[in-house]
């Protein structure tokens, strides 16, 4: 069965969940705050104690999802970036250029060379898209 998710983070969490439990240490983390922003120190400590207790309980119950890594695909938001009329191609295209700008954004204006990472991310997006298109 093909597992389809709509975010690269979700894809990573699903890949971890395929092999969780037992001696396998796998975790996926999300950060949620309220409108006020960060919590007070005592709230954080209490939440951390509760989290550790709950995590230990859940680890005892963890059952791997199983499946193969190849059966998890993500419809990356990167595929919807840029000019929507441009084709999605392996080489250079407006969407890949948009992703490059997104991944290499620098708040302080310094030049960041992430070409290998951009290429790997783009290739992964295309591979997942091909898998999804190949399914009936």
pLDDT tens for residues 4-40?
877 777 888 888 778 777 676 666 666 656 656 556 7
pLDDT at 61: 83
- The rounded percent of the chain whose pLDDT value lies above 70 is 84
pLDDT at 49: 92
Is pLDDT at 53 greater than 90 in this prediction?
A: yes
Q: Residue 3, SS3?
A: strand
Q: Residue 33, SS3?
A: coil
- Between 41 and 34, the higher pLDDT residue: 41
- Rounded to the nearest integer, the mean pLDDT of the chain is 79
Is pLDDT at 91 greater than 70 in this prediction?
A: yes
pLDDT at 29: 65
Round to whole Å and give the CA distance between 89 and 124: 12
Beta strands in the chain (DSSP E): 3-5, 72-74
Is pLDDT at 41 greater than 80 in this prediction?
A: no
- Between 22 and 97, the higher pLDDT residue: 97
pLDDT at 88: 82
Torsion sign (Cα): 66, 69, 75, 77: positive
């Amino acid at each position: 069965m093909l597992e389809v998710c709509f975010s690269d983070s979700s894809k990573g969490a699903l890949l971890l969940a395929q092999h969780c439990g037992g001696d396998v240490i796998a975790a996926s983390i999300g950060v949620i705050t309220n409108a006020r922003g960060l919590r007070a120190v005592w709230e954080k400590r209490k939440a951390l104690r509760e989290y550790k207790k709950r995590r230990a309980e859940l680890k005892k119950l963890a059952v791997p999802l199983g499946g193969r890594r190849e059966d998890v695909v993500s419809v990356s938001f990167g595929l919807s970036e840029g000019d929507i009329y441009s084709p999605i191609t392996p080489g250079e295209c407006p969407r890949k250029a948009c992703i490059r700008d997104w991944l290499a954004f620098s708040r302080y204006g310094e030049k960041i060379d992430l070409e290998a990472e951009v290429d790997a991310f783009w290739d992964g997006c295309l591979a997942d898209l091909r898998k999804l298109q190949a399914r009936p």
